[in-house]
Structure 1
């Protein structure tokens, strides 16, 4: 019964994705779906995009191992999303023709910055996509008893099919379905899990005390703050989320959709983390990677397991399709386009985006088969973004003084400090290199061209 529900659901998602992708004729439609979406759609597609394997099964895994401190760390992402809604989203209507990070970077820093951001966008999206696809293999193996390799091929094959055909329109329509399923299925898992272990009080009694408290040792506090900053900075304005800020009908829709998404993530991260604690009480010797699937299999009534299994599949597919689409746009629009002397025709540009979607998806399947921990690969992928693109992109959107000198100085400082911190110093005090790289970029960026920045400020006033 469980397998049948998941199979029917997968077929339904594939058909919806292919149906939604009809009539795509331009790169702009492929990337932004006509900028036609309202508040609730932006809320659903943005939430479905960031709730991937790392923020669900990965969170349950880490809370199983270290306790509720990982939930608190993930709230760094929630704070980020709320800040984006408050400060970044209102500015996005200044870029009516932008379809990617590179378009915005090009406008402020030039073609070289567009190419630079395209390379790092592709690296980030490919890394996170690989993490989601890797998780997909585990899920198919656990719930459908399909070999992990076949699970990757089937699950990713479906995502590649509709993302290649319909681009953003297919991604958004399938995201809506996937969001509804995961928003029902995951809280349901926690509810039945708590019932299985005897309720909240019984679970507390059977858990190690350290799992229910935050660290008090200085080094542990530093490590927690570093992880909080990692999740706060690591996915800020990454290509899929930036694209969600560009697809709204109005500025109000983008602001409200982003804010709702940030607020929704706070209890959702708590729910996925607490499922990890339920698994720890049920089976302390369990492989932490299996925390969430184990609770589903042992605690959820058989008649409902199909729905919950579909929710887990939804979580992974909704994130995978978003990063696959953005990787394709980054390569086509931000790498190939600035390197060509003669622009492609609209038809050729769309064909290129579809071919790249197919190739990136296949490459990510190969990469995914070597992944062990979903959330660890997410943190590794973050190192491609915060030390390099985040500072100049944010400064430009916020209307601060920007220049090519500032961009170059920040990029050199961010990349250099991240490499030194990770490779030479071996990540002291458990502070992740992306945090160091981000602040190094910020300091260098704001330290260069001070006279010109001051003159520009006086001119505006």
Structure 2
């Protein structure tokens, strides 16, 4: 373990640097600038904030453990999860009508009306606050594992207060700046840790391959050892399609200057997601090669054993960066949903000054952040696996209910389906009911309740739309003139590039 003075100093220095970077730069003068910036961000910055939001504290800690204990079938999620980013890049033309929006609730509300917008906003807020609570708990747990000289709640509270401070005062620009810092820090530490674990094995690449070929969990045949594993693998394909509509990820779409930039950011993001995800999984693989007899609780103590104090603290800093990068985006999303979607929909007031909207958004972010912090600190986790077991049930219900009600509406909107508000509400109710039936029947693991609920949502909407009378102009709509021009431009560029490559 690391001494109190040295470890606390390094962690405090990182938090202070994050706060300074977050508070630098020009402050937002309009609510749109506070919510999604001025659409002048570079592709590199948008890529960093997209990946920083996609990776969270648990995506660093948990895959190492699961790859060690379950083998190759737990290395696939890094590729599968990246598929949702790639799918988003493929439908960049379809995103054009919604580029001026500020939240996923506004997009759904523009198609299906006020009540679906309110429901989507409430579900997104609950989902976001839970994610923030989750990230603060991960910080507390990794600190307790790596640095016993510091009470874990101290670092968790400091990190929460820092991210609340810069997210409240600086808006999306502060979050973007800190995401760049946190992403660079996290990537550097992940690659360094992977290299150190490779060296710690004391084996060459050929020796490791020969060793892993004898391990059942690292054979390709282990992917289909049971019907349950094969079913989850098959269900992960439609799950990725539905997962492309995560509110904080879609928020990055609205920050892009054009649909063309959306395509670049999400295409590059899918590639780097796979690279980073596999690097994290390799840490667990190298630990297994070095010592295949460890229990789950012994994995991280084994990793940090023998490390210099600086590297031990670097692991904490890595988790801090990833957790804060996800949490600040979720808190910012909460503030936008409260002020822009809930308040505007419930009270029907649109003519509010930018200064007043920004002030309300800051108060909403502050309140949501403090609520999440108090909920997280109330649970004093001791080990990462205990944390995961404790929160996994809440994560399951939150993700399932959100997933069966919100993504289907967004995906249908993107593909040009237009219908009435009652149709959307009935579809959401059908999705929720189908998910509850699946859970009641005992399907509480994997993607089954999520997928079944989403399919029921879509089928319910289709049935109501075509069985009952609908207002004029509803149904499937094609590309508008702007989308057609973008598609033609993309086709011309593709042909030109192909001709250059041939020559």
Question: How far apart are the structure 1 equivalents of 2:478 and 2:9?
Answer: 63
Question: How far apart are the structure 2 equivalents of 1:157 and 1:329?
Answer: 19
| C-alpha deviation, 1:315, in angstroms | 1.3
Question: How far apart are the structure 1 equivalents of 2:444 and 2:30?
Answer: 48
Question: How far apart are the structure 1 equivalents of 2:456 and 2:471?
Answer: 19
Partner of 1:418: 435
Deviations 1:277-320 (A, max 9, x none): 333455566563674x4465236555544444422321111111
* Alignment check: 8 A CA contact 1:409 1:444 kept: yes
* Alignment check: 8 A CA contact 2:189 2:318 kept: yes
Q: TM-score, normalised by structure 2?
A: 0.82
Partner of 1:359: 367
Question: How far apart are the structure 1 equivalents of 2:57 and 2:305?
Answer: 20
Question: How far apart are the structure 1 equivalents of 2:74 and 2:406?
Answer: 26
| C-alpha deviation, 1:351, in angstroms | 1.6
Partner of 2:404: 387
1:455–1:289 CA distance, 2 compared to 1 (3 A): farther
Name the SS of the counterpart of 1:249 in structure 2.
coil
Deviations 1:311-341 (A, max 9, x none): 2321111111111111221222222221114
Partner of 1:124: 127
Question: How far apart are the structure 2 equivalents of 1:233 and 1:287?
Answer: 35
Partner of 1:38: 42
**1:373 aligned to which of 375, 378, 388:** 388
Question: How far apart are the structure 1 equivalents of 2:343 and 2:178?
Answer: 28
Question: How far apart are the structure 1 equivalents of 2:327 and 2:454?
Answer: 26
Q: Does 1:166 align with 2:209?
A: no
312-321 vs 218-227, which deviates more? 218-227
Deviations 1:95-120 (A, max 9, x none): 34311112111211111111011011
1:43–1:457 CA distance, 2 compared to 1 (3 A): same
Question: How far apart are the structure 2 equivalents of 1:393 and 1:79?
Answer: 17
| C-alpha deviation, 1:90, in angstroms | 3.0
**1:448 aligned to which of 461, 464, 468:** 464
Partner of 2:231: 222
Question: How far apart are the structure 2 equivalents of 1:428 and 1:338?
Answer: 34
Partner of 2:326: 319
Deviations 1:387-441 (A, max 9, x none): 001111111122233332431232011111111111x212178554112111111
Larger CA Rg, structure 1 vs 2: 2
Deviations 1:93-148 (A, max 9, x none): 32343111121112111111110110111111112222111111123334444222
Q: TM-score, normalised by structure 1?
A: 0.89
Question: How far apart are the structure 2 equivalents of 1:163 and 1:170?
Answer: 6
58-67 vs 278-287, which deviates more? 278-287
* Alignment check: 8 A CA contact 1:102 1:333 kept: no
Question: How far apart are the structure 2 equivalents of 1:459 and 1:243?
Answer: 24
* Alignment check: 8 A CA contact 2:137 2:376 kept: yes
| C-alpha deviation, 1:3, in angstroms | 4.5
* Alignment check: 8 A CA contact 1:117 1:334 kept: no
| C-alpha deviation, 1:43, in angstroms | 0.9
Deviations 1:175-230 (A, max 9, x none): 01111111211021111101101234555637842245423222231234445655
**2:156 aligned to which of 130, 145, 152:** 152
Name the SS of the counterpart of 2:417 in structure 1.
coil
How much is the aligned-residue C-alpha RMSD, in angstroms? 2.9
| C-alpha deviation, 1:380, in angstroms | 4.1
Partner of 1:47: 51
Q: How many residues align?
A: 456
Partner of 2:3: none
| C-alpha deviation, 1:261, in angstroms | 0.7
Query: Runs of 5+ in structure 2 lacking a partner?
Result: 1-5, 382-386, 480-503
Q: Does 1:137 align with 2:140?
A: yes
1:132–1:251 CA distance, 2 compared to 1 (3 A): same
| C-alpha deviation, 1:171, in angstroms | 0.6
* Alignment check: 8 A CA contact 1:165 1:354 kept: yes
Deviations 1:40-99 (A, max 9, x none): 111111001111023221222322332221221342211111001111x33333234311
Partner of 1:253: 261
10-19 vs 337-346, which deviates more? 337-346
